[in-house]
Structure 1
Amino acid sequence: MKRQQPQRNSQSGWVVALGLALVGVSCALPAAQTGYWLPNPDDSVFGQIFYVKSGRKDTLLDLGRRSGFGYDEMKSANPGVDTWLPGKGTHVLVPAQYVLPQAPRQGLVLNLAEKRLYYFPTSGKVVTYAVSIGREGWDTPLGNFSIVSKVKDPTWTPPASIRAEHAEQGEILPAVVPAGPDNPLGQYALRLSAKKYLIHGTNKPWGLGMQVSHGCIRMYPEDIEQLFPEVPIATPVTIVYQPFKVGWRDNDLYLEVHAKDKDKPGSPKEVIPTSIAEAQGVNVDWREVRRAIKENTGLPHLVGGRQQPPQRLYLDRIF
């Protein structure tokens, strides 16, 4: 299969591939269920962005959920599109291309900056999910953890701090919320070795992909249902905060940005590791690095590459 060459979109600076198809609103991303294979262990960029046409009643949240994406991802990738009323026939970009975080490729890896979970079921394969994380003051913890228990149809025992918060808003929470459609944990929960933190479903999926929880990691109901039987007890869970992700796809260098104001670097050279920028044969286009930081779309942006070694020509001797 002939490799597609990257093409620059003049309006946004996003890197898209030739031949992207506009697909109907009923189309979902197959890899959201099957995962992606990384045939080259040195590569960390995978997937491919695509477009869908919105229907008359669609919101960006509707279109995102059908392909496994959350609110913030869809907003960042479509800055000119109305969130609640894109309009019938609007071409909406689905940001289904990713740079892997810098973390061990095992178990579960969560990058808080992009609100996305990566699962490595086997060597060379990755499945990825949108998540919600803890809001300010209720931060999801960073570090290395593991899954210590799994519960189907969990009950929820809200801690005193959350009950007090709800009481201030005039809502009295019961001491225990039973399993069922009104349970905020949804139907499945994975408990982490970090006290009081879970990876779980939700009874309010339309808030997914934002910084809204009390520190737990929320997933779409259909995603946690798929993940729950796949991960055994003791599965490692690595939680990082990486607003700038850099990675290779063949000989192309990409930068993916999910930066808040506090993350903005003083110089573009701060976001490209010195081990890459100063490597022999690597060319970094610093203008494109600046563009990626400024646009902050959450999409992998082509910012350089490495030269291929010259091929030697062998001639048969004629005697």
Structure 2
Amino acid sequence: MQRSFLTTVICALGWLSQPTLAATFDLPTDGSSVVGQVRVVVPSKGNTLLDVMRHFDIGYEEITTANPGVSVWTPGEFTQVVIPTQFILPPKPWQGIVINIPQRRLYYFPPAKKGQAAKVLTYPISIAREGWSTPLGETRIVAKYKDPSWFVPKSIKEEHLRDEGVELPEYFPPGPDNPMGMLAMKTGFAGIFIHATNRPWGIGLRTSHGCLHLYPEDAAEIFPLLGQNTPVKVIDEPVLVGNDRGRWVMATYQPVAEYPNSLSLFSRALLRLGQQLAQTPVQALPRNDFDWGRVQAIASKPQSIPVALTQDQLGVAAWVDTLPVERYDYAPYGMDANNAQLPEPRPRQQ
């Protein structure tokens, strides 16, 4: 996916537009189920992949899967970084909150406003660490808390002492060092919250004991949008198949062992493809001359970028190579931003 050095330098001289917080999109009305677009950037000196992922509101697994072999801490001044901000939407119905655990992503489908297009907002999340899990199924938002405090459960205190050799306090008061963050939304699942975090560099990893973690700025954005009784659905879908305006595409994610499934990822890919074909209106069906070798390859290794499945479309490497390269020249967030507070605005580097 490397262009010529001259092309890279010329493209990198352009400015990168300031993004909004969450990725917010109009819901497709043409039978498609894909939103967003993939971008390619060249970070300026001093930026890590953690800086870039937070700026574009993506998680650790998403950006590292899209950029195999690129150093997280020192990507290099002329390294092209793929930004996987194109998403296959979860299976319908599209309403309330839908959380796809393997994808490590939350989707919010707010009620459509009269006379306006229906929207979807999406955020990266951290999920439960190994040995823990978030219940699958349907629940609701039952309460919201600003500046929550946290009484540490005995089981978590014991685990932390065993694994880290350090004893956690019994109580965390509200503040920037509280693992619950500054905003928390309680679900109907016992002990399960959707909340901000005091360790935003861990977004996209397995860091919780069942709760779902958000960047502080994402929690601040979605918190006022959610009312009590907002429906919440938690799903386990490591394979997503979508119709991208006439292209069949697929993305795969590492299955979570805490949700055992007897089917291989390839079998789950075939099942999901069949379900998508059955649910797509005939007039919206793309050509279906599938490249089964490509399907097998996507199912054999997680791929966070939706990949075209038909023989008449480019594979992911060749397709990404056609995208323009943009310069990313914002100042790094810095380790001081690794807490529960909202980050300071970052100027462009001179």
Verify the 8 A CA contact 2:123 2:214 in the aligned structure 1: yes
TM-score (normalised: structure 2): 0.75
Q: Distance in 2 between matches of 1:40 and 1:301?
A: 21
Verify the 8 A CA contact 2:242 2:276 in the aligned structure 1: no
Q: Distance in 2 between matches of 1:207 and 1:177?
A: 19
**Other-structure match for 1:273:** 274
**Other-structure match for 1:173:** 168
1:180-221 alpha-carbon deviations (Å, 9 max, x no partner): 111001100000000000000111111111112111100000
Deviation at 1:25, TM superposition (A): 8.6
Q: Select the structure with the greater relative contact order (CA < 8 A; seq sep ≥ 6).
A: 2
Which secondary structure does the structure 2 equivalent of 1:228 belong to?
A: helix
Of 210, 231, 240, the match for 1:245: 240
Verify the 8 A CA contact 1:77 1:299 in the aligned structure 2: yes
Mean CA deviation greater in 241-250 or 265-274: 265-274
Answering whether residue 72 of structure 2 is matched by residue 86 of structure 1, we say no
Which secondary structure does the structure 2 equivalent of 1:253 belong to?
A: strand
Deviation at 1:51, TM superposition (A): 1.3
Deviation at 1:66, TM superposition (A): 0.5
Deviation at 1:284, TM superposition (A): 3.9
The percent of aligned pairs where both chains have the same amino acid is: 37
The one-letter amino acid of 2:288's match is N
Q: Distance in 2 between matches of 1:23 and 1:63?
A: 18
Deviation at 1:121, TM superposition (A): 1.5
Which one has the largest radius of gyration? 1
Answering whether residue 251 of structure 2 is matched by residue 256 of structure 1, we say yes
Q: Distance in 1 between matches of 2:68 and 2:242?
A: 24
1:206-239 alpha-carbon deviations (Å, 9 max, x no partner): 1111112111100000000001000100000100
Deviation at 1:274, TM superposition (A): 5.2
**Other-structure match for 2:147:** 153
Pick the structure with more helix per residue. 2
1:228-258 alpha-carbon deviations (Å, 9 max, x no partner): 0001000001000111111112222111111
Which secondary structure does the structure 1 equivalent of 2:144 belong to?
A: strand
Q: Distance in 1 between matches of 2:210 and 2:13?
A: 36
Give structure 1 stretches of 5+ with no counterpart.
Answer: 1-8, 12-20, 307-319
The one-letter amino acid of 1:63's match is V
| RMSD value, Cα | 2.7
Verify the 8 A CA contact 2:181 2:216 in the aligned structure 1: yes
Verify the 8 A CA contact 1:52 1:94 in the aligned structure 2: yes
Q: Distance in 2 between matches of 1:199 and 1:268?
A: 29
Q: Distance in 1 between matches of 2:289 and 2:2?
A: 20
Answering whether residue 293 of structure 2 is matched by residue 298 of structure 1, we say no
Which secondary structure does the structure 1 equivalent of 2:224 belong to?
A: coil
Give structure 2 stretches of 5+ with no counterpart.
Answer: 4-10, 113-117, 258-263, 313-350
Deviation at 1:175, TM superposition (A): 2.3
The alpha-carbon distance between structure 1 residues 271 and 284, as it changes in their structure 2 partners (threshold 3 A), is: farther
**Other-structure match for 2:194:** 199
TM-score (normalised: structure 1): 0.82
Mean CA deviation greater in 101-110 or 149-158: 101-110
Map 1:1-319; keep pairs closer than 5 Å.
Answer: 27-30=17-20, 32-33=21-22, 35-40=24-29, 42-123=31-112, 124-168=118-162, 169-260=164-255, 263-266=264-267, 269-273=270-274, 276=277, 282-285=287-290, 286-304=292-310
Deviation at 1:266, TM superposition (A): 4.9
Q: Distance in 1 between matches of 2:13 and 2:231?
A: 37
